[in-house]
Chain A
Amino acid sequence: MTEQPKISCRHLWKVFGSDPAGFLARHGHAPTSENFAAGRHIGAVRDVSFDVYPGEILIVMGLSGSGKSTLIRAITRLNDPTVGEIIFEGRDLLKASPAELIDIRRHKMGMVFQHFGLLPHRTVLSNVAFPLEVRGATREERDARAREMIRLVGLEGRENYFPRELSGGQQQRVGIARSLAVGPDVWFLDEPFSALDPLIRREMQDEFLRLQKLLRKTIVFITHDFDEAIRLGDRIGIMKDGRLVQLATPEVMVSSPADDYVREFTRNAPRDRVLTVGSIASPVPAPLNGVNILASAKIGEAAAIVLASEKPIAVIDAEGRSIGAIDRPAMIRALYPEERP
């Protein structure tokens, strides 16, 4: 990717304890787990570096306590990180003054929360208009924009409802509309669907993908659900004990997990919908035939053809050139990999 990243995190640390900065300095800014255990400090985010590119959905995934929530709060500066750099549009967010930070939040950032974070005393309209209200928009201006956002998330007709009168899914739609009201460049979502029922969650994920197709935001999305990560993410970062263990596309993660921890997550991943034919094809090109398969196709889409065929089938690139071949055993191995003990 040659594009400039939208956000770059460099060596981000968030340490909890009585003297976080001093603790890091004492251990040369690279304390080990033993140092943490002995020094009565907790490393919630440890030396995390990554880039988020414009228009991509970056998923940060991890179990509870892995530091993913702390990470998103460090990037948004809801909780200031201990050390590190967050380059956002060419400047270091950690050096932004309180006033600058407020200005950035009012114009460039939107965030959705796990438990919605709606203001109970305000109507749907007023909740959605809230970020515009605090930045000083006139009533007509903010109401018009809020109505537009409410229409976008499909809640028209509920403008005058109060949050407690809505279902969980509807409340989160309000949260989403609110986070989009300022027209942010970067969209942070902190486990937005975790508090919802499985069916509603699914529906909201579709809704989220629909919105992203429309809006093309740069997204940092936190979840503890690997299926959700695979379904939504362009790239996934897996966190464990405050460290970013692996950051890759779903396909790379499933086909070559960095360690056993990642492998454990990917074990039950829907491989047929994650892996592409190109990634499992043998590099020896097969002669073109009546039926060829695009390298970028998911193996689930090609499985029926490959499994029905006695001979290897040619794998072609977008220009129609044969770049490899795939046969029945390869397909079976890809779909049903041998379990390692």
Chain B
Amino acid sequence: MNGGGQAMAAPQIVPAPRLSLASVVVAIILLGCAAAWTWPPLQRWPVEWAIPFRDWVTQAFVWFSAAAKPVTRGLSWLLSWPLWLSEALLFRGFPALNLLPLPWVAIVGGTAILGHWAGGRGLAIFCGLSVFYLAIFGLWQDAMQTLSIVLVTVPLAAAFGLGLGLWATRNARVERVLNSVFDVMQATPHMAYLGPVVILFGFGQVPAMLATFGFALPPMARCTILGLRTVPQDVIEAGRMAGCTPGQLLWKVEIPAAEKTLMLGLNQVVMQTLAMVVIASLVGASGLGQKLLFSLQQLQIGKAVEQGVAITLIAIVLDRLTQAYIRKAPEHQATRTGFIARHPHLSLFLLLLATSGAAAAFLQAFAVPPRELTLSYGGPINSAVRWVSKELFPYIKPLRDWLTVWLMLPLRSFYLWLPWPVMLGVLAAIGYHLSGWRLALLPVCLFGFLMLAGFWEPLMLTIYLVTGATILCVLIGIPIGIWAAHSPRAAHVTRGVCDTLQTFPSFIYLIPVIMLFQTSDVSNVIAMLAYATVPAIRFTYLGLLRVPAATMEAAVASGATNWQRLRKVELPIAFPEILLGINQTIMMALAMVAITALIGSRDLGQEIYKALPGADTGRGLIAGLGIAFIGITADRLIGAWAMQRKRQLGLA
């Protein structure tokens, strides 16, 4: 980093820094390449020199898991009880007591009633039909198994998240620590949680629950902190002046006043839990996720689609229910007396439960969905897939090959060739230019660690895939965002599609991708693309919407054409927001990296996946952290850039 002095000498205010950043970068590239040419270890860190961090971590975990056996056993035992209860309620029944599970009719109807209570008739119909789908396509037991993990994990994660959040709002140091921990936790892909959990708790439902719990915790804690922070000062003071004790203030004033944000946290917990439960099938969680995994591995696309739709429907139902509840504003009602008048939905449900329970006692068909009534469209889908791959593949193949030749291969060779001093030096120079020494050191430390641990090649391959996906996301997402910002109808459609896409558990994206592109690097990128384009669209749209109307009018009054207005006024003002969208896109692409390992890749995601069955905790964990490190680096650099732009535009 001998060019650093130059950058430091240039004060930030003069317009020179841009130029000086460019010259520093050029200097780093030239020097780095020259150095790499004279001494090969500066091109590629030799594998023999790698420090065996992964073995150390693995050994530490093996030792720890042995030492903590009583604790982990106890915890598993403890957690198996609520799980047993919810499973018994939903599908197993209580054979010892000769009790049946909740009749499926009651669950279908109950969900519909819940939907009506939260969001009205439309939601009621959607909820009822979605759950009915699970019954009619013979996925009832698997779905209920998945749901029972969700049912147990969500309250646990919500309660602990709330507790952590409350602690953080009471103690600034705790908040700082938690924030950094959550940053890493949220940037670490789902799958990386599975490794340590397997070592400590083995395979099965409870470890899956624990991994899910760990993954779902941060959003709840974050929303708690945010929610309590944003309770208006007047409300808190009113509570204090009313003579609240600290406990009364918390439970009667602060938490209820923060309810909307807390519910948003709960919504996130539910969605993360569902996403994770599906992935946790890799460590033996039975349920829909496992069935889907088998179908994918056996390339039974028809079945995979059936199961995928089921998971998606559960996700959308849970999401819409919580969202509707958040939107539900309290409304006054005439004082009514009587339980039924005051609780019509609950009364209806109890009635349904009683009648279906009674009916189920006589007729098995009311208890569990009868096998004779189940349908399947797996067959038609399978033939459709065969047709698609036969008929469409000839058209898709040229696209795939074109992308491979012109985008993926050049990118790949570039990243694999890139000497490490150049990579680290350029990132450091950018970091220094944007924010200062701390941001310059961050990528050097994080990526340097991965290099020393011998993960440079998978690191570069991951960055390569993410770069490819991000480029495509930006090329597709930004124009759609611009289009949506200029046409209300487009906005309506786009918003609907984006909302739905975001509720899909990431697994699902693999199904159409395998169908259409078969396995290759392009398939991985396309899967990431489908998952990660949404934020690029959304932030572009929001950024453009936030351009002040007066500024737009001024541009029009100055005689700007539409194109000029877009290019010279709207996009520059929306640019920081768009940057944040790209940041989110990168994050989601990274989250997908580990998932695409299931359809074959050679990146960090694959390292995590490969480490799972062998219980090679160190390998999986460091690879997972590696993905988190890429995310954190990208997040900090882009965040600093967006901040700088915002400040220059006077928006910060």
By a beta-carbon cutoff of 8 Å, the part of chain A in contact with chain B is: 73, 76, 78, 102-107, 109-111, 113-123, 130-131, 133-135, 158, 160-162, 164-165, 175, 178-179, 182, 188
Contacts and interface: CB of A to CB of B under 8 A. Distances in A.
Contact of B232 (A117, A123, A131, A160): A117
B337 interface: no
B332 A165 contact: yes
Interface of B: 232, 234-245, 248, 252-253, 256-257, 259, 329-335
B232 A115 contact: yes
* For the complex of A and B, 3 pairs with smallest distance between CB atoms: A106-B243, A117-B238, A117-B234
27 contacts: A73-B237, A78-B241, A106-B242, A107-B243, A111-B237, A111-B238, A113-B234, A113-B237, A117-B236, A117-B237, A117-B238, A117-B239, A118-B235, A119-B238, A119-B253, A119-B256, A121-B259, A131-B242, A133-B252, A134-B248, A160-B332, A160-B333, A162-B331, A162-B332, A165-B332, A182-B242, A188-B241
Contacts, number: 90
Nearest to B256: A121
Nearest to B329: A164
A105 B332 contact: no
B243 A103 contact: yes
B259 A131 contact: no
Contacts of B241: 76, 78, 105, 109-111, 179, 188
A191 to B, nearest CB: 11
A215 B329 CA distance: 36
A102 B244 contact: yes
B237 A120 contact: no
A96 to B, nearest CB: 12
Given A117-B232, A160-B333, 10 more contacts: A78-B241, A102-B243, A105-B243, A107-B243, A111-B241, A118-B235, A119-B238, A119-B257, A121-B259, A179-B241
Contact of A114 (B234, B243, B334): B234
B330 A162 contact: yes
A119 B236 CA distance: 9
Nearest to B334: A160
A118 B238 contact: yes
Contacts of A102: 243-245
A123 B329 CA distance: 12
Contact of A123 (B234, B257, B332): B332
Nearest to A121: B256
B328 to A, nearest CB: 12
Contacts of B240: 78, 105
Contacts of B332: 123, 158, 160-162, 165
A143 to B, nearest CB: 11
Contacts of B252: 119, 130, 133-134
Interface centre among A109, A119, A123 (most CB of B within 10 A): A119
A341 B113 CA distance: 76
A135 B243 contact: yes
B257 A121 contact: yes
Contacts of A188: 241
Nearest to B260: A120
B254 to A, nearest CB: 10
Given A115-B232, A160-B334, A178 B237 contact: no
Nearest to A184: B241
Contacts of A78: 237, 240-241
B238 to A, nearest CB: 3
A70 to B, nearest CB: 13
A116 B65 CA distance: 55
A78 to B, nearest CB: 5
Contacts of B331: 162, 165
A179 B241 CA distance: 9
Contacts of A111: 237-238, 241
Nearest to B333: A160
A4 B330 CA distance: 47
Contacts of B259: 121
A53 B238 CA distance: 24
A254 to B, nearest CB: 33
B242 A134 contact: yes
Given A115-B234, A160-B332, A162-B332, A134 B243 contact: yes
Nearest to A162: B330
Nearest to A112: B238
A119 B243 CA distance: 15
A156 to B, nearest CB: 13
Contacts of A117: 232, 234-239
A243 B252 CA distance: 37
Nearest to B255: A121
Nearest to B248: A134
B492 to A, nearest CB: 26
Contacts of A131: 242-243
A247 B332 CA distance: 46
B21 to A, nearest CB: 35
A113 B259 CA distance: 22
Contacts of A122: 256
A130 B332 CA distance: 18
Contacts of A73: 237
